[in-house]
Amino acid sequence: MKKLDKYIIKTFFGPFLFIFSVLFFIFIVNIIWTQMSQLTGKGLTYGEITKLLFYLGMNVVSMVLPLTILLSSIMTFGDFGERYELAAMKAAGISLLRVMMPLLITVSFLAGILFLFSNNIIPDFQRKAKNMLFNIVSSKPAINFTPGVFIDQISGYSVKFDKIYGKEGEKLEGVFLHKNASPYDNQQTIIAKKGKFANAEDRNYLKLILYDGYVYEDNISNKPYEERKKQPNQSVKYDSLVYHFDISELINNAIEKEKITDDYRFQTYGEVNQTLIKNRKSNIVSVSAMASPVISQTNNFVQYIDKTKPMNKVIKEPYKIDTLKKDKKLEVLWGAYNKIEALKSSIESNQNSISDIVKNHNKIVMYQQRIVSYSFTCIIFFLIGASLGSIIRKGGMGLPVIIAIVIFIIFYVLNLTVENISWKGGINPYIAAWIPNMVLFPFSVWITYKALTDSQLFDIEKYKALFKPIIEKFSKPKEHERYQ
C-alpha cells in the first residue's frame, strides 16, 4: 500500500468513527424513548437495562453504517477539494478514480462485514432483545397486575386487586390474597380495603402494605382428620399489615429465558429461505381450505353430474323459476338471496385472511433480501458521497451534512413506500427490497461520471448564465440605462 493510499484511508476513518458514534447514539436514544414505558418502574438494574439497549442497538447498525459512509465520503473528498489536495493529486497525474479506489476497496470490505453482521449477529441479538422485553413485561408482577383478575405469577399465591391507580400504579383497593396450599396444609386468606406497593430493601422481594382488613387462617397441618374437623377458624383484624412476596425466581431466572424462538427475524439468510419454503406450502394449504367451501357453495350443481355418462351430456335445470307459484317463487328467491349474502360475507372474510397471508410472506422476503441489499447500499452511498464531495469541494459539517441528509431521506422514504406497497401485494417483495438501490444506482453512476469529467454541477454562475437571456427578456431596464 502506497503512502497516498494510507493517507486517504486515514483521512476517511477520522470522520467515519466520529459520525458512526454520533448516529449510533441518536438511534439508541430513539430506542430508549420508544421503549421507556416498558422499562420504567420494572425494578430493573442498570446492568439489565444496558444489556437490553445493547441488544436492541445492534439492529440499527444496518441503517447507521450506510449513512455514515455517505456522510464520511462527502466530508473526506470535500476536505480534499477545499484544501486543494485533490487538485494537487490531479496535477501529479493521479485521476479521481485512482484516488477513490483505496476507499472503494475499504467500503466494499465494510459492506462484506455488514452482511456477515446482519446475517449472523443481528438475528441472535434480536432474539435476545425480544425475549428480554417479553419477560420483563410478563415477569414483573409488581407492575403487571390487571384489576379484577386473579394473578398466579407469584409463587404460592393467587392475588386479585379490584382497583389499581396512582402515578405508577402503586395504590390499591379491594385486595384479596390466597395462599395456594394442599387440603392438608395450613390455609390462609388475606383481604384488605386498601393497600399500596412500596420499595423493598431487597429487589428480590415485592413489598405490599395493606390497610383495614382481615387475616383468615386454618392451622390444620400435621393434624389427624377428626381433629381437623373440630379445628376452629381463626380471624385476625388488622389496621395495617406489611407483606413481602419472594419474586427472586421470577426476576433472576426469567429475564433472559427464551420463550420466543420461531420468529423469522432470528434467522440467517439460509434459514429464512427454509422458512419461506415451509411458509409457501402452508399458505397453499390455507388458501385451498378457504377456497373449497366457496367453490362448493357457488357450483353445487356439479354434484348432480353423473361421471359415468358422456361429458357432452346437457345438464337440465331442476325447474324453471317462472313455473313456480308465487309463495314458492318468493321462497326460492329468498333462499338464493341469503346464499349470495353468505357467499359475499365468506369472500370478504377470506380476502382479509389472504391479505394477512400475503403481508406475512412479503415481510419475510423483504427481511431476507435486505440482509444483502443494505450491503450494496454502502457501495452506492460511497460513490454518491465521494463524487459529490469532489464536486462541491466543501468539507466540515455544513453543506455536506445537508446533502447527505437529503439523500438519506430519499432512500428512507423509498424504503418505507415500497415496503408498504409490497405488504399489500402491489409489488413483488424480491424487487421491492432492491428498488431503493435500483433508483440510486443510476444516479451514483451519473454523479461519478460528472465528478470524473470535472463537471461544474454546483456552479451557480453557470446556471445564472444559462438563464440570463430569459431573465433579461422579462426584466425592466434600469433608470440610468434609458439615457445611454
**Burial (Cβ within 10 Å: 0-12, 13-18, ≥19) of residue 368:** buried
**Burial (Cβ within 10 Å: 0-12, 13-18, ≥19) of residue 169:** middle
Rounded to whole angstroms, the Cα distance separating 17 from 65 reads 10
Q: Are 271 and 119 in contact (CB under 8 A)?
A: no
Is the same domain home to 118 and 10?
yes
Rounded to whole angstroms, the Cα distance separating 430 from 273 reads 12
Residue 295: what pLDDT?
Answer: 65
Q: What is the pLDDT of residues 182-226, one digit of tens each?
A: 766 778 888 999 988 877 666 667 788 899 998 888 877 777 766
Q: What are the distances in angstroms from CA 256 to CA 32, 44, 125, 188, 260? A: 19, 13, 12, 33, 11
How many CA atoms, within 13 angstroms, populate the side-chain half-sphere of residue 328? Answer: 7
Domain end, chosen from 343, 366, 389, is at 366
For cell 449472523, the residue is 120
Give which of 349, 363, 350, 342 is closest to 286, Cα–Cα.
350
Domain end, chosen from 254, 286, 309, is at 254
The 8-class DSSP code of residue 318 comes to S
Is the same domain home to 109 and 73?
yes
Provide the residue range defining the domain that includes 188: 157-254
Residue 143: what pLDDT?
Answer: 46
Pairing assessment for the beta strands 157-165 and 205-218 based on DSSP bridges = unpaired
28 is a domain residue: yes
Q: Are 40 and 354 in contact (CB under 8 A)?
A: no
Rounded to whole angstroms, the Cα distance separating 360 from 429 reads 11
Is the same domain home to 52 and 38?
yes
482 is a domain residue: no
Which parts of 393-459 fold into alpha helices (H)?
A: 399-423, 429-432, 435-452
Is the same domain home to 25 and 129?
yes
Task: List, for the chain, all residue ranges whose pLDDT scores fall below the cut of 70.
Answer: 1, 35-44, 134-145, 153-155, 168, 183-184, 200-204, 225-226, 228-229, 247-262, 292-324, 395-400, 456-468, 471-484
27 is a domain residue: yes
Is the same domain home to 230 and 341?
no
Give which of 425, 385, 403 is closest to 81, Cα–Cα.
385
Residue 30: what pLDDT?
Answer: 79
Is the same domain home to 436 and 326?
no
Q: How far apart are the first and last CA of the chain?
A: 66
Q: What is the pLDDT of residues 278-334, one digit of tens each?
A: 888 888 887 777 776 666 666 554 443 344 444 455 545 555 666 667 777 777 778
Give which of 227, 210, 211, 208 is closest to 219, Cα–Cα.
227
150 is a domain residue: no
Is the same domain home to 205 and 283?
no
Is the same domain home to 24 and 123?
yes
Is the same domain home to 12 and 125?
yes
Is the same domain home to 50 and 132?
yes
Is the same domain home to 186 and 161?
yes
458 is a domain residue: yes
Domain end, chosen from 254, 274, 296, is at 254
- Sequence-distant (≥ 6) Cβ neighbours of residue 293 within 8 angstroms: 346
484 is a domain residue: no
Is the same domain home to 57 and 176?
no
Q: What is the DSSP string of 332-389?
A: HHHHHHHHHHHHHHHHHHHHHHHHHHHHHHHHHHHHHHHHHHHHHHHHHHHHHHHHHH
127 is a domain residue: yes
Question: What is the number of structural domains in the chain?
Answer: 3
Q: At 377, list the grid cell.
A: 447500499
349 is a domain residue: yes
